[in-house]
Amino acid sequence: MICTILSIFASIFQSGWTGVNERTFIAVKPDGVQRKLVGEIVRRFERKGFKLVGLKLMQASEDLLRTHYSDLRSRPFFGKLVHFMNSGPVVAMVWQGQDVVKTARKMLGETNPADSLPGTIRGDYGVEMSRNVIHGSDSLESAQKEISLWFHPHELQNWESSSNSWIYN
């Protein structure tokens, strides 16, 4: 019994879902890739102190996109969104760090770039809502779902950053 509990605890800690090890899913959309913003976006997350644990450039399938955006299925723009996200490569990423889901959402800005503050990714680079450069998980639950949808467990790295002691107390 104790071994089982310790095994579950170790599994949760290793998977990175709590505290400093919280993870989120970030995707640079086709417009961001085409506009060569990937490096700038990665730079912002690294400078914030978050750790990159998964990264891949990919052409997302329609099936993957329909599943990813399933909560928007009844919206009139759903088909256009899937088509747009399938129109070019996407850079899918997993970032890890303390409060990374909440902090990343603030770094991204509002969904509508016109409502985003300067200094946010969408505020600095987004022009219209349908071309807003980036996607980020909006909750810990959606982060878990999206990460497991876009990445296999073996594609995520568990590594120690030498800068952790300079970032976390």
What's the pLDDT at 112? Answer: 95
Does 111 show up as a binding residue in the annotation?
yes
Catalytic residue set: 135
**What's the mean per-residue pLDDT of the chain?**
90
Assess whether pLDDT exceeds 70 at residue 13: no
Where residue 128 falls among pLDDT bands split at 50, 70, 90? very high
- How many Cα atoms within 13 Å fall on the side-chain side of residue 163? 9
Enumerate the domain spans of the chain: 17-158
Assess whether pLDDT exceeds 70 at residue 14: no
Residue pair 151/92 in contact (Cβ under 8 Å)? The answer is yes
Residue pair 56/110 in contact (Cβ under 8 Å)? The answer is no
Does 131 show up as a binding residue in the annotation?
no
What's the pLDDT at 169? Answer: 80
What's the pLDDT at 5? Answer: 43
What's the pLDDT at 20? Answer: 67
- Give this prediction's pTM: 0.87
Assess whether pLDDT exceeds 70 at residue 4: no
Assess whether pLDDT exceeds 70 at residue 136: yes
Distance (Å, whole) CA 107 – CA 113: 12
pLDDT tens, residue by residue, 18-36: 566 899 999 999 999 999 9
Residue pair 126/59 in contact (Cβ under 8 Å)? The answer is no
What's the pLDDT at 9? Answer: 43
pLDDT tens, residue by residue, 55-105: 999 999 999 999 999 999 999 999 999 999 999 999 999 999 999 999 999
The 8 Å CB, 24+ separation contacts for 37-43 are 37/125, 37/133, 38/91, 40/125, 41/121, 41/133, 41/134, 42/93
Does 105 show up as a binding residue in the annotation?
yes
CATH, domain range 17-158:
3.30.70.141
Does 23 show up as a binding residue in the annotation?
no
Assess whether pLDDT exceeds 60 at residue 10: no
Does 77 show up as a binding residue in the annotation?
yes
Distance (Å, whole) CA 88 – CA 30: 5
β-strand partners of 23: 96
